Amino acid sequence: MNPDTFKIGQREFSSRLLVGTGKYKDLQETAAAIEMTGAEIVTFAVRRTNIGQNQDEPNLLDVISPDRYTLLPNTAGCYNAKDSVRTCLLARELLDGHNLVKLEVLGDQKTLYPNMRETLIATEQLMAEGFEVMVYCNDDPIAAKELEDMGCVAIMPLGSLIGSGLGILNPHNIRLIMEEAKVPVLVDAGVGTASDAAFAMEMGCTGVLMNTAIAHANNPVLMASAMKKAIQAGREAFLAGRMTKKAYASASSPLEGLIN
């Protein structure tokens, strides 16, 4: 069997579980959970360095090494195109020219729903700056197509609100997006537990990006293991092709040779 890999831009990956690094108890737990997921792509945020605090504390990039993982800086916390682009430029400098980013331009604090107008503006500017953009977006198939046409290397519609754990609330829209997309479609946000992740993969998504579902589990490392398996199980089920649903029973044992 050929290895079941996928490409984002020119980069090739085999793990379909992409993870965030937020909300963990400490960096040790972050590192242990992410190691357990088997993720190859790991996202992080860019923030001001604390001035005057203990600078000997370990940095995120000390435990999530750029040599080992494909780092995906994100623009979480940005509410307009200008701040998002600025954050991406800083991230590229931080990572010595690495140009893959996760664009997320938020609409409001209550929902963290994407602001699509600003997302489109930022995408255009990031393309002009030579970035490869994986874009967090709403589950609108028209907007998703527009983002792909602009050159985004991955479309990442939300399953439900960031950090909500409500699962994939509109699978029909995600399917519509996948039908049209020629670049990978990954569910970003909303996964709450392993079955949500498996469900996304059974639908045929290229992958799933999650953070809170692992970080806020009672046992993050164990949930990381569950998610890894769920992603693999869902992917294999998709490739295998599920049986057709039927309204009535269909016996699993042969009807011939019954003893009476």
Partner 1 sequence: MQIRLNGQPYTLAESASIVDLLQQLDLTGKRLAVEINEEIIPKSRHAATLLQANDQVEIVHAIGGG
Q: Helix or strand or coil: residue 165?
A: coil
* Among the listed residues 1, 3, 48, 250, the single contact to partner 1 using CB under 8 A: 48
60 binds partner 1, rule: CB under 8 A: yes
User: Which one, 30 or 206, has the nearer CB to partner 1?
Assistant: 30
Amino acid letter, 100: L
Report which DSSP code applies to 114: B
User: How many residues can be counted in the chain?
Assistant: 260
Q: Token digits for 211?
A: 């953070």
Q: How far apart are CA 136 and CA 122, in angstroms?
A: 12
| In the complex, least distance from residue 82 CB atom to partner 1, rounded to whole angstroms | 10
Runs of H (alpha helix) within 95-205: 116-128, 141-150, 171-180, 194-202
Q: Token digits for 237?
A: 């089920």
Report which DSSP code applies to 51: T
User: Which one, 152 or 162, has the nearer CB to partner 1?
Assistant: 162
81-94 and 116-128 are packed helices; what angle lies between their axes, rounded to 10 degrees? 40
197 binds partner 1, rule: CB under 8 A: no
How many Cβ atoms sit within 10 Å of the Cβ of residue 60?
15
Task: From 43-51, 172-180, 191-199, 226-234, give the range in contact with partner 1 by CB under 8 A.
Answer: 43-51
Is 7 known to be catalytic? no
20 binds partner 1, rule: CB under 8 A: yes
| In the complex, least distance from residue 111 CB atom to partner 1, rounded to whole angstroms | 15
* Among the listed residues 15, 37, 74, 115, the single contact to partner 1 using CB under 8 A: 74
Size of the site for partner 1 (CB under 8 A): 40
Q: How far apart are CA 60 and CA 27, in angstroms?
A: 7
User: Which one, 51 or 243, has the nearer CB to partner 1?
Assistant: 51
Residue list 76-105, contact with partner 1 (CB under 8 A): 76-77, 86, 89-91, 93-94, 96
Q: How far apart are CA 256 and CA 254, in angstroms?
A: 6
37 binds partner 1, rule: CB under 8 A: no
Please pick, among 7, 23, 25, 102, the residue that the annotation labels catalytic.
102
**Cβ(6)–Cβ(32) under 8 Å?**
no
* Among the listed residues 8, 36, 39, 43, the single contact to partner 1 using CB under 8 A: 43
Query: Binding residues for partner 1, per CB under 8 A?
Result: 20-24, 27, 30, 43-49, 51-52, 55, 59-61, 71, 73-74, 76-77, 86, 89-91, 93-94, 96, 162-163, 189, 209-212, 215
Give the catalytic positions in this structure: 102
